[in-house]
Chain A
């Protein structure tokens, strides 16, 4: 339990730390030739102080796209539609280029309308194929994704040929360049994101039900088709919002990765939405910062790298499922078992001479445990540090403290109660119960022990005839 709380508090701190680690070295790597420490620092300060109008625009855009992608991406992840997001992202490309070719300016409205139309068109093709063929989702998405992307790239190259002056603007739609965002873009992004979030908030129960159990939703008379289309439209919005800064190729990563990280962290969907939005914004901002420091590297890959870094951290350190946390918990538990077994050995020895002597030499202990003196010394050190035992001056004899004694008695008691329970209630043979009890004794909680006692009618001897120690002073 305490590990969980501890790591929950640890997580934000670690996030900051690791992001710092990511930021600093990559900033170094970005300009190896003209590397001046002050310079990087200055740039970073410039970014963080938000003095420049340009920086503010870039940061605002990154945060906006992070929220939108995080929230809509969460729906896609739990609905197993993550790849649909990818298809959609590629599906908008022809529309973007056509919107540009319309009057050869990068007017957000034209691009937006073009992107939404072509995105929805790609989704419509998916639906038609699914309904009329036996092809499965993955193959259909593969066809649509690559087909639309190919059309988009062809149009794009044609666009390049048309007028050199504008080509740079369009180029950014491939890999993303947050620095290319201007005032109008940000305005459009704010509106679109705002509207999407309001719709999601208002319709949250409906969207949740649609995602969890579509058949039930339609049995309630909810318009599931409409809700699905609406969700796809909102997804298209968030893709389009992210398009300039992240680029067609990697937008789907911004949809999936922050949401997947959030999925590992929580059991409640609305909390997942919050985490995903947070991770999305963080990745967006860090990506923008890195690009700024690296003087014009494409923002898309950097944002996605940040998102992946966050995912890695969550994967390792999430309180419930993080592998590192799990590992530490496991090691901790094993360590505890070793120490507790040592306590038990001392207790047994003292039990043999009817608790008359009050100490045991380490040499005896090593003999009983069949371990080297070195190992025993090390483990005994652990007991002493935890205040469960003390050593004589010469370090040869081990005495249990009161706390150590009562913990030892408790363990022996757990062990013998459990053995008794297995033989009496579960019909185990008396010679089959020891190994099981060896494991269980370390994890029985106070409440369970009390319950066992009650069921066994407060016994005093175990199946092998050894006395069950009474519960002495509280441990």
Chain B
């Protein structure tokens, strides 16, 4: 769709010395990353490594304590409409009285005027997005009556409806069966080929190797970022998963106590 990014060579995402803290206890430290356009990037790291925190900081949901985030060369908060987000599935109440269609339409809300309601065109687009994740037949279902994999696809459709250029996805493969996983990864590859940049938090190492162009290894600090082939080494993975980085977490605890 939009090829201008690749042409003008503006980085979709640039993190500089990014540090984020909860209650003044740092969770991720001094992250420096420059993500090139049109790449499918896997973010891997153990539980509590700060993967979700990183994504939230990129979108400005959490304010960094230090460093900055640039999205397509601009301050993150000025360019939010170019970001699409798929939160972790557990982050919402699935008994909420809305239908599948209602949820997907929410992807359009970022483009609404202050007092605006979604238009017919928005509905049309939402239907197309549902079609892409093969959920159109469920458009009028209440979300409570969906399986985990279906819920995940709804979130994906909602992100597609955002028509963004940079996508941030938090564990879109969690609790999804093999067939759905394949469908999703195919969709992600299509999106990448259309010039989108996609960051995906992923937990399964063996598949990570095949799915992603680049890997971002994270464990409170950046362990490594680069092409999958170079990153996927025994040594790197050891550094990422082999024991929490004890000194860092001790310091973090100490700082948390002091504050």
Which residues of A come within 8 Å of B, CB atoms? Answer: 78, 80, 202-206, 208-209, 211-213, 215-222, 263, 266-269, 272
A206 partner residues in chain B, CB cutoff 8 A: 109
User: Which of A78, A205, A216 touches B87 (beta carbons < 8 Å)?
Assistant: A216
Contact B81 A221 (CB under 8 A): yes
Contact A205 B109 (CB under 8 A): yes
Contact B109 A209 (CB under 8 A): yes
Contact A268 B77 (CB under 8 A): no
Q: How far is the CB of B157 from chain A (nearest CB, A)?
A: 13
A222 partner residues in chain B, CB cutoff 8 A: 109-110
Contact A267 B97 (CB under 8 A): yes
A219 partner residues in chain B, CB cutoff 8 A: 59-61, 80, 83, 85, 87
Q: How far is the CB of B80 from chain A (nearest CB, A)?
A: 4
A80 partner residues in chain B, CB cutoff 8 A: 93
User: Which of B56, B91, B96 touches A78 (beta carbons < 8 Å)?
Assistant: B96
Contact B56 A211 (CB under 8 A): no
A269 partner residues in chain B, CB cutoff 8 A: 96-98, 102
Other than the given A213-B92, A221-B80, A272-B97, 19 more pairs (CB < 8 A) read A78-B96, A205-B109, A206-B109, A208-B98, A209-B106, A209-B109, A212-B98, A212-B103, A213-B87, A213-B91, A215-B91, A218-B60, A219-B60, A219-B85, A221-B60, A222-B110, A263-B97, A267-B142, A269-B98
26 A-B pairs, CB-CB below 8 angstroms? A78-B97, A80-B93, A203-B115, A204-B117, A205-B106, A205-B109, A205-B117, A208-B106, A212-B103, A215-B87, A216-B85, A218-B59, A218-B60, A219-B80, A219-B83, A219-B87, A220-B109, A221-B77, A221-B81, A221-B110, A267-B98, A267-B99, A268-B99, A269-B97, A269-B98, A272-B97
Q: Does B118 contact A (CB under 8 A)?
A: yes
Interface centre among A211, A218, A221 (most CB of B within 10 A): A221
Q: Does B116 contact A (CB under 8 A)?
A: yes
Assuming the contacts A202-B115, A219-B80, A221-B80, asked whether A213 and B142 have C-beta atoms less than 8 A apart, the reply is no
A211 partner residues in chain B, CB cutoff 8 A: 96
Interface SS of chain A: helix, strand, loop or mixed?
A: helix
Interface centre among B60, B110, B116, B142 (most CB of A within 10 A): B110
Which single residue of chain B is at the shortest CB-CB distance from A262? B97
Interface centre among A206, A217, A220 (most CB of B within 10 A): A220
Contact B59 A212 (CB under 8 A): no
B110 partner residues in chain A, CB cutoff 8 A: 220-222
B109 partner residues in chain A, CB cutoff 8 A: 205-206, 209, 217, 220, 222
A216 partner residues in chain B, CB cutoff 8 A: 85, 87, 106, 158
Q: How far is the CB of B186 from chain A (nearest CB, A)?
A: 24
- In the complex, what distance in Å separates the CA atom of A204 from the CA atom of B98? 13
Q: Does B183 contact A (CB under 8 A)?
A: no
Q: How far is the CB of B140 from chain A (nearest CB, A)?
A: 9
Q: Does B112 contact A (CB under 8 A)?
A: yes
- In the complex, what distance in Å separates the CA atom of A188 from the CA atom of B182? 60
Which single residue of chain B is at the shortest CB-CB distance from A199? B115
- In the complex, what distance in Å separates the CA atom of A208 from the CA atom of B87? 17
Q: How far is the CB of B7 from chain A (nearest CB, A)?
A: 26
B102 partner residues in chain A, CB cutoff 8 A: 208, 268-269
User: Which of B97, B106, B158 touches A266 (beta carbons < 8 Å)?
Assistant: B97
Q: How large is the interface on B (under 10, 10 to 19, 20 to 34, 35 or more residues)?
A: 20 to 34
- In the complex, what distance in Å separates the CA atom of A407 from the CA atom of B5? 67
A266 partner residues in chain B, CB cutoff 8 A: 97
- In the complex, what distance in Å separates the CA atom of A209 from the CA atom of B80? 16
Interface centre among A78, A204, A219 (most CB of B within 10 A): A219
Contact A268 B97 (CB under 8 A): yes
Which single residue of chain A is at the shortest CB-CB distance from B105? A205
Which single residue of chain A is at the shortest CB-CB distance from B76? A221
Interface centre among A80, A212, A215, A263 (most CB of B within 10 A): A215
- In the complex, what distance in Å separates the CA atom of A211 from the CA atom of B99? 14
Contact B96 A212 (CB under 8 A): yes
Which residues 146-165 of B sit at the A interface, judged by CB distance below 8 A? 158, 162
Q: Which 8 pairs across A and B sit closest by C-beta, in order of nearness?
A: A220-B110, A221-B80, A267-B142, A219-B85, A202-B115, A219-B59, A218-B61, A213-B92
B56 partner residues in chain A, CB cutoff 8 A: 215
A205 partner residues in chain B, CB cutoff 8 A: 106, 109, 112, 116-118
- In the complex, what distance in Å separates the CA atom of A220 from the CA atom of B92? 16
User: Which of A204, A212, A267, A272 touches B106 (beta carbons < 8 Å)?
Assistant: A212
Per-residue contact bits, chain B 47-63, to A (CB 8 Å; 1 contact, 0 not):
00000000010011100
- In the complex, what distance in Å separates the CA atom of A205 from the CA atom of B56? 22
Q: How far is the CB of A261 from chain B (nearest CB, A)?
A: 13
Per-residue contact bits, chain B 1-13, to A (CB 8 Å; 1 contact, 0 not):
0000000000000
B99 partner residues in chain A, CB cutoff 8 A: 267-268
- In the complex, what distance in Å separates the CA atom of A272 from the CA atom of B96? 11
- In the complex, what distance in Å separates the CA atom of A217 from the CA atom of B158? 12
B61 partner residues in chain A, CB cutoff 8 A: 215, 218-219
Interface centre among B80, B96, B99, B118 (most CB of A within 10 A): B96
Which single residue of chain A is at the shortest CB-CB distance from B110? A220
- In the complex, what distance in Å separates the CA atom of A219 from the CA atom of B162? 11
- In the complex, what distance in Å separates the CA atom of A424 from the CA atom of B144? 34
- In the complex, what distance in Å separates the CA atom of A202 from the CA atom of B93? 24
- In the complex, what distance in Å separates the CA atom of A202 from the CA atom of B110? 15
B59 partner residues in chain A, CB cutoff 8 A: 218-219
Which single residue of chain B is at the shortest CB-CB distance from A271? B97
Contact B116 A212 (CB under 8 A): no
- In the complex, what distance in Å separates the CA atom of A272 from the CA atom of B98? 10
B97 partner residues in chain A, CB cutoff 8 A: 78, 263, 266-269, 272
Q: How far is the CB of B97 from chain A (nearest CB, A)?
A: 5
- In the complex, what distance in Å separates the CA atom of A249 from the CA atom of B24? 39
- In the complex, what distance in Å separates the CA atom of A212 from the CA atom of B95? 10
Per-residue contact bits, chain B 99-134, to A (CB 8 Å; 1 contact, 0 not):
100110010011010011110000000000000000
- In the complex, what distance in Å separates the CA atom of A248 from the CA atom of B144? 35
Q: How far is the CB of A278 from chain B (nearest CB, A)?
A: 16
Interface centre among A202, A209, A267 (most CB of B within 10 A): A267
Which single residue of chain B is at the shortest CB-CB distance from A213? B92
A213 partner residues in chain B, CB cutoff 8 A: 87, 91-92, 106
